[in-house]
Amino acid sequence: MFGKIKTEKDRQHVFDEYMLSILKRREVIKKNKKIIEEKGFSYDPTINEDKIKGAFNSYMDSLVVKNYLIEQIYTRLKINKTMATQFVNKLDANQVLILSKVIHEFIKDIQDKYVSINDYILKASFDELQGTYNVLQQQEKNSEIVTQNQVEQNAVLQENIPTEDLEEGEESLMSDFLKKRFLTWKVCEILVSLN
């Protein structure tokens, strides 16, 4: 995997992506174990984790949010109320939830880009906004996974490596690169021995 890559920066990027994929798989396994432990044997592996289950507690909640969105869109964009209603009614529960979180950015984006507004412009703008929102959400999840893994690795290191060894490693004259590799290999060895 690393043989074809020429620069150290590219190698580090590929290594980081590889470690992130491993960490994501671990998170899914932990989630599944937690679900199984909490609910007994009623776990359904066909659940789509990307969708938000139970976005609204009741039908009335979804109606209130949809009406709010319709009012915001047609009053601030100065368009026909039926067009705003048709646009919001075409959205599923997850899309309504996303739009409710970023309605002000959505309206500002449309006002900045377009003079006249039609249904196609509303849908295209929302699709673009939803894609950006999903990317940002994924980046936040990735950073949470990495920080959580770093905390877990630190705890495992503190438990399994004596403090004297850690202090000796800090006092030595190894470069930053070698220190990172040393700790990474130690963590990998410990994790392999734990599994």
Q: Over the stretch 107-118, which tens digit does the pLDDT of each residue have? A: 888 888 887 787
Question: Among the residues of 40-175, which ranges form H helices?
Answer: 59-76, 81-89, 93-101, 103-113, 119-160, 163-171
**Of 46, 108, 43, residue with least CA distance to 72:** 108
Determine the pLDDT at residue 55: 61
Determine the pLDDT at residue 20: 81
Query: What is the overall mean pLDDT for the chain?
Result: 76
User: Which pTM was predicted?
Assistant: 0.49
Spatial contact of 134 and 99, defined as CB atoms under 8 Å apart: no
Predicted confidence band at 44 (pLDDT cuts at 50, 70, 90)? very low
Determine the pLDDT at residue 58: 75
Maximal CA-CA distance, the chain: 72
The tens digit of pLDDT for each residue in 119-155 reads: 788 888 888 888 888 888 888 888 888 888 888 877 7
Q: Where are the domains of the chain?
A: 1-49, 59-136, 150-195
The tens digit of pLDDT for each residue in 47-60 reads: 444 444 556 667 77
- Pick the more confident residue, 161 or 52: 161
How far apart CA 67 and CA 73 sit, in angstroms, is 10
Average pLDDT over residues 76-84: 88
Determine the pLDDT at residue 23: 81
